[in-house]
A and B are shown apart, each in its own frame.
Chain A
C-alpha cells in the first residue's frame, strides 16, 4: 500500500462523510432553504474530494482528465442550479421554517425595493 493509496483513501472517506452529513441535513432540517444549505456542501467540496481520491488511483492519464472535466462542470453548474432552485422556491411562496428570525427579501419587497413588476414580467 503506497502513500498515494493512503492519501486517496483519506480523501475518499472525507468526501463520503460529507455526503452522509448532507443526507442527514436533508432529513433533519426544517425548510427548503436550510435543506439546500446542507445539500450543496457535498455538491462541490465532497465531490471534489472523492474525485481527487479516485484520480490518485487511476491507471491511465486520460481517466484523470475525465475526472477533472467532471469537477470543472460541477463547479460551473452547481451554483447556478442552486441559485435557480432557491429563487424558484422563494418566489413560489414556499413556507419558511417557524424558526426563521429575519426575512429581508420580504421586507424589501414590501418597501418596493426589488420591483415586483420585473418578476411578473419574467414569469410571463
Chain B
C-alpha cells in the first residue's frame, strides 16, 4: 500500500503543478478560476490519499470545508466576472 500511495501522491503533485502553471499563465480571469477549482480538487484528492495511507480520518473534516469553500469562491468570482468582464 505504501508504494501505491507514494505513486498516487507523486501523481497528485504533478497534477497540482500543471494546475498551478495554468493559474499563473492565465490569460483570462476565467482560466484562472478553472485552474484554481481544479487545484482545489487535486488538493482534496491528496488529503484523501494521505488518509488512505494512514487509515486515520483526522483530516477528513478539512475535505468537507475545502469542498464547500471552493464552491462559494468559484461562484463569487464567476459573478464578479459577469458584472465586470474578464
Contacts and interface: CB of A to CB of B under 8 A. Distances in A.
Interface of A: 1, 5, 8-9, 12-13, 15-17, 19-20, 22-24, 26-27, 32, 35-36, 39, 42-43, 46-47, 50-51, 53-54, 56-60, 62-63, 66-67, 69-70, 73-74, 77-78, 80-81, 84-85, 87-89, 91-94, 123-124
A12 B50 CA distance: 11
16 contacts: A8-B52, A9-B1, A16-B45, A19-B42, A22-B38, A23-B16, A23-B17, A42-B45, A47-B45, A56-B52, A60-B57, A66-B64, A81-B71, A84-B78, A85-B78, A92-B30
A19 B28 CA distance: 22
Contacts, number: 178
B45 A26 contact: no
For the complex of A and B, list the 6 residue pairs with the smallest distance between their C-beta atoms, beginning with the closest.
A23-B18, A63-B57, A89-B30, A77-B71, A9-B4, A23-B15
A33 to B, nearest CB: 9
Interface of B: 1, 4-5, 7-8, 11-12, 14-19, 21-22, 28, 30-31, 33-35, 37-38, 41-42, 44-45, 48-49, 51-52, 55-57, 60-61, 63-64, 67-68, 70-71, 74-75, 78-79, 81-86
Contacts of A91: 82
B14 A23 contact: yes
A27 B26 CA distance: 10
A88 B19 contact: no
B1 A70 contact: no
Given A43-B41, A67-B60, A27 B22 contact: yes
